[in-house]
Chain A
Amino acid sequence: MIILNGVSKIFNQGQQNQFVSLQDISITIPPRQVTVLKGPSGSGKTTLLSIIGGMSRPTSGRVTMNGREVTSLPERFLSALRRETFGFIFQQFNLINGISILENIMLPAYPNGERHTLLKARALELLAMFGLEARAATRVELLSGGEVQRVAIARALINNPEVIIADEPTAHLDSKLSVELMAIMERLKADGKTIIMASHDPLVYDAGVVDNIVEIRDGRISCSNRPQ
């Protein structure tokens, strides 16, 4: 359970170009459900996701994760939180070019100090799950769009996170791949993952798998409800 309490984010505070990106956000994200942050471009979805995922700190307000306050954790613990609790699927996918798919998938686990053979076995298992085992040694820049997306998901899963965070996951996909992605999300939900997505794509927020929709506009919550 992730609880946000009065979270605000102000960029360039006190300067000429001060910008209030989030204002007084209080929401509860229930575990093992799919929550979608919905809103137009520039409404603050990405900002909110990065605060939830421990990538940036709110200007004010608190975030608690399973009862633990994470807002004021030192940087070192935030890194560990990002690594152990969250799996990120970025809008731009953000894979690392020049190295193999397999290595990309293993990267988030390197700081854990796990035995290399075990880690590799786990990564190969994930690749097999996404039908990519034959491509393990391929370099990322040689992949098709659909493959890149699946590698990005596999990388998010390597540390077996509790929460999956996906920012506009269908933004760079055609409809067929978008539907495929939502099918994968359904599978992950069935596996007990908490899923938080930001999107303004109806293919995402209208999907049957979605449990909660949080609507954001100009950095404020305009409506929070369960669909249907």
Chain B
Amino acid sequence: MANIEKQRAIIDFTLSSLMRRKGKNAALLVVYTLVVTALASVMFFTKSIKTEAAAVLADAPELVVQRLVAGRHEMIPLSYVEKISSIRGIRAVRGRLWGYYYDPVFGSNYTLLVPRELTFGDGEAAVGSGVARSGLAEVGNIMPFRTYQGELFTLTVAQVLPSSTELVSADLVLLSSGDFRALFGVPENMATDLVAEVANPSEIPTITAKIVKLLPDTRPIARDEILRTYEAIFSWRSGILLAILSGALLAFFIFAWDKATGLSAEERREIGILKAIGWDVADVLMMKLWEGAALSLTAFVTGVLLAYLHVFAGGASLIVPVLKGWSVLYPSFRLTPSIDFMQLGILFFLTVIPYTVATIVPSWRAAIAAPDSVMRG
């Protein structure tokens, strides 16, 4: 109880102390906050984009087989299914139907996909949250399309898809294969691509080689390969950015160190007075600890909050130009918040702790001196 009152009193004094040195502390707070914002932005962004990519790829089949004509992706004949199935190590092969549809009225792009198991009938559709949000579709609404021949074609919204991640399902429209073929004029014996299940993933390189040999106009794509590419791109880019920001962090610490360690004559005198009127070294250090903690925690929390808003509400607009690679891979979308608390913890330990220690040491030195110099002014 007494200790709580004591801490409270010391904190009271700490806060009024901080207010007294407004200029110095405000400058420090601003720089500190900006550094934390920048670092946390990169962390949030990289983590989310990796989570998004992983979510996309988790549902992706192990092996996709596309047909190439003149180096471009073309519809693939379903007769290939049987040929590929005959390869040893392939467990199952099926054709997929998917594509993009541009709606000129609303200026939006949809990804149309025929799901493996249809939970609704012909003439109906399930739509992603992004499509639903645009106000075009809620359950029971009718969505107008134009077929490849320009005729009106309508689907009734049967369901809105729950979104685990924006990227996966935002612009998604699920429909039956009959409707898909009618809309795009895809013949019964063709599919967009084929997906293969492989008994043993370590055989994938052998299997892809066999597929290319058997069907020279195809291109097999392994999931692991895509994953690695994504990982490499994001890790590499965020690595560069973090390296640049570490420079900023270092500059900040030189600045902060200078501000924090150079006890002004005024501060030294105050510590002497406090000692002289009966404060113990521990009390003085406690005060300085609260001071350092108040400042660095404020900066840390503000910085992290700003970074959160920047990345998840502001579309990471300030760092996107640097991490531009991904915007080529993906159309613009809002990132689903995904936070790596381990990383945040590291950021905490790299900012709050060193700062607090940096402020404590010189105060400790001033506090262990005998206070009799105060008597002489």
Interface residues of A, Cβ cutoff 8 Å to B:
46-47, 49-50, 55-57, 75-76, 79-80, 82-84, 86, 88, 90-92, 94, 96-100, 103, 106-116, 119, 155, 159, 167
Contacts and interface: CB of A to CB of B under 8 A. Distances in A.
B258 interface: no
B376 to A, nearest CB: 6
A84 B280 CA distance: 12
B278 A108 contact: yes
Contacts of A97: 20, 266
Interface string B241-271: 0000000000000000000000000100110
A119 to B, nearest CB: 8
Interface residues of B, number: 36
A90 B16 contact: no
A55 B278 contact: no
B353 to A, nearest CB: 26
A155 B5 contact: no
A110 B8 CA distance: 9
A167 B375 CA distance: 8
A110 B377 contact: no
Interface of B: 1-6, 8-10, 12-13, 16-17, 19-20, 266, 269-270, 273-283, 370-372, 374-377
Nearest to A106: B9
Given A83-B278, A84-B278, A99-B20, A90 B377 contact: yes
Contacts, number: 107
Contacts of B273: 94, 96
B18 to A, nearest CB: 10
A107 B269 CA distance: 15
A80 B377 contact: no
Given A91-B375, A96-B270, 8 more contacts: A55-B370, A79-B280, A82-B276, A90-B377, A91-B376, A94-B377, A98-B20, A108-B278
B375 A114 contact: no
A57 B2 CA distance: 30
Contact of A80 (B8, B280, B370): B280
Chain B CB within 10 Å — which of A79, A82, A94, A103 has the most?
Answer: A79
B277 A82 contact: yes
A112 B270 CA distance: 19
Contact of A46 (B3, B277, B376): B376
A228 B282 CA distance: 47
Contact of A113 (B5, B274, B278): B5
Given A96-B273, A111-B280, A55 B375 contact: yes
